[in-house]
Amino acid sequence: MKYLLLAIVLVAAVLWIRHKAAAARRADTAPRTAAAETMVPCAHCGVHVPAREALRDPAGAAFCSPAHRDTGSGTR
């Protein structure tokens, strides 16, 4: 009976360690991809948006939304 309890504790410890290792791997990869994303400020309101998703006016200024692109960079 003592060994059964010991075996259960060992299995639980191994499962917990594997779970922690998997979580560490996930945390390891997630911020790296987020940090690689270049953020640009909206020329109208200053909100930072990913450069890929920013809307550009003909002059090349970045905007967060079509409304701000149409309004332009004048007011801030």
Sites of contact with Zn ion (CB under 5 A): 42, 44-45, 64, 68
Rounded CA-CA distance 40/55 in Å is 10
When the beta carbons of 8 and 50 are compared against Zn ion, the nearer one is 50
Q: Checking phi first, is residue 72 left (phi over 0); if not, alpha (psi -120 to 50) or beta?
A: left
Task: Name the closest residue to Zn ion (Cβ).
Answer: 42
- Burial (CB < 10 A; 0-12, 13-18, 19+), residue 12, is exposed
When the beta carbons of 36 and 59 are compared against Zn ion, the nearer one is 59
Nearest distance from residue 54's CB to Zn ion, in Å?
Answer: 10
Nearest distance from residue 58's CB to Zn ion, in Å?
Answer: 17
